[in-house]
Amino acid sequence: MTDQNPKPNTQLRLAEEVALLLKLPQHLCKQRGMCCRVATFRGSLSHEQIGAMAADPSHPLYMHARDFHSIFLPYPDEAAVRAIADGFVERVRKQTADNGGDPDNISYFHCKYVQEDGRCGVHEDRPTGCRAYPFPHESTVYHPGCGFEQRGVENWNRISEILVTLGLTPKLTPADNNIKES
C-alpha cells in the first residue's frame, strides 16, 4: 500500500531518489549519434515556434528552447529524416497521434555539430541539455536500438510511482504546470 502522506524525511529521500533516476548512466550510450542526427523538440514544435520561445525570457521553457534553437537545424521534410531514421519517425508519429496531435505536422532537426562518425564536434563544450540528455519521461521517444531506452523506461516508471506517493501527477502537461504553449 502506498503511503499518501509520507513523512518529511521520507519525502527528502524520495526527492533524492528522483534526482538520481533522472540522470541516466552515460556508459549506456552506444555513441551512434542518432539522437543528434534526428531530434524533435516537445514532439512537434517548429523551428519558428522554438525560436519564439527562445526569444522570450519569461517563457517557462526559455532556457531549453534557447539551447535547442542555437544548435539544431530543421530538416526540409520527413522524407529526408526517414532516409536516416525511419524507425524513429514511426515512433514519433505514433506518439503524436496517440496524444491527439497531427503526425503529418512534425518538425525534425539535426545538430549542426554532429560529425559523420556520430561523435560530437563540441563534446567538451556542449550545452547543458546535451549533457543531461536523455530525460527519463513518458514522452521521451528513443531511437530504435538506443542504449538508454530500457533504463530510461524503468527509471520513469519508478519516478511515476514516487510522484504518486508524494501526491503529485506524473502527467506533465502544459495545463498541469501552468505552461503556455506557443
Q: Residues 11-59: pLDDT tens digits?
A: 889 989 999 999 999 899 888 889 999 999 887 788 889 999 999 999 9
Contact indicator for 9, 17 with CB cutoff of 8 Å:
no
Q: What is the dihedral of CA 58, 64, 68, 69, to 10 degrees?
A: 0
Task: State the Rg of the chain over Cα.
Answer: 17
Which one-letter amino acid corresponds to residue 145? G
Tell me the pTM. 0.81
